[in-house]
């Protein structure tokens, strides 16, 4: 989205904002939004936002830091209501775990469900993650995509990574020590490697 609109992009991994020192997590939240205002027009993207914005009612007695972080996040979002130059996006696999106050109008009010990719999307994702890979002639990406029903984009990436690692290990095992480095051009990812990888990768939990 940032690329299409030509604005600055600030990526924030939710878990990385949490800090064991009192006050540091809230400070990190403030700094993210300050950086966004300075870089405006900008998009701030919170990945795994449930890690820092969980429902305060479900936090229990040890929720001091969590409550303060959620409160700080809400304060910063409210400050942006009249600022069209900073847009906040967030992603989560656990919308039900988010604090309801975060989803009220004026904050993160528009919600888009991203389902598992269909066969065409799976084929496109496979194309991305195999683009630089030495594929054997017996690898049919269309056929692979058809057998990946239920897998997410991350799952498909994991399959490609595992298949590639198996191909690399096969060449490494065929030669001793550093000699294997001289035979990197022999690495070939086959259908057998993909089949083995598919057997190992289970669909990610929602």
Distance in angstroms (rounded) separating the CA atoms of residues 181 and 168: 10
The beta strand positions in the chain, using DSSP E, are 8-13, 42-47, 86-91
Tell me the pTM.
0.67
> Which architecture characterizes domain 2-103 according to CATH?
3-Layer(aba) Sandwich (3.40)
> pLDDT at position 51, please?
86
A 10 A CB-CB count for 131 gives 9
Peptide bond preceding 41 in cis form (omega within 30 of 0): yes
| pLDDT value at residue 204 | 62
Confidence of residue 191 (pLDDT cuts 50, 70, 90): very high
Domain ranges (residues) in the chain: 2-103, 119-200
Query: For 62-71, 77-86, 108-117, which range has the lowest pLDDT when averaged over its residues?
Result: 62-71
Task: Choose the weakest-confidence range: 49-58, 75-84, 119-128, 188-197.
Answer: 49-58
pLDDT score for 33: 93
- 3-class SS of residue 202: coil
Between these two residues, 71 and 16, which has the higher pLDDT value? 71
Domain covering 119-200, topology:
Helicase, Ruva Protein; domain 3 (1.10.8)
Cβ neighbours of 85 (radius 10 Å): 13
pLDDT in tens, 74-90: 999 999 888 889 999 99
- 102, 53 Cβ separation under 8 angstroms: yes
Q: Which of 45, 112, 46, 32 is nearest to 79 (CA)?
A: 32
Each residue's pLDDT tens digit, 19-62: 655 568 888 889 999 999 999 999 999 998 988 888 877 665 45
């Amino acid at each position: 989205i940032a690329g299409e609109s030509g604005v600055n992009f600030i990526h924030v991994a939710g878990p990385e904002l949490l800090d064991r020192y009192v006050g540091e997590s809230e400070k990190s939240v403030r700094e993210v939004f300050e950086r966004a205002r300075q870089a405006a027009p900008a998009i701030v993207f919170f990945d795994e936002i449930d890690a820092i914005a969980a429902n305060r009612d479900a936090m229990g007695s040890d929720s001091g830091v969590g409550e303060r972080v959620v409160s700080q996040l809400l304060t910063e979002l409210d400050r942006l209501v009249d600022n069209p130059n900073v847009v906040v996006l967030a992603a989560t696999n656990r919308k039900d775990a988010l604090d309801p106050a975060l989803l009220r109008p004026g904050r993160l009010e528009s919600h888009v469900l991203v389902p598992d990719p269909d066969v065409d999307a799976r084929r496109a994702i496979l194309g991305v993650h195999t683009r630089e890979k030495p594929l054997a002639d017996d690898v049919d990406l269309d056929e692979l995509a058809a057998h990946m029903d239920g897998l997410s984009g991350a799952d498909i990436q994991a399959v490609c990574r595992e298949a590639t690692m198996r191909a690399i290990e096969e060449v490494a095992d065929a030669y001793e020590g550093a000699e294997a480095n001289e035979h990197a051009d022999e690495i070939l990812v086959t259908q057998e490697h993909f089949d083995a990888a598919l057997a190992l990768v289970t669909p990610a939990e929602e």
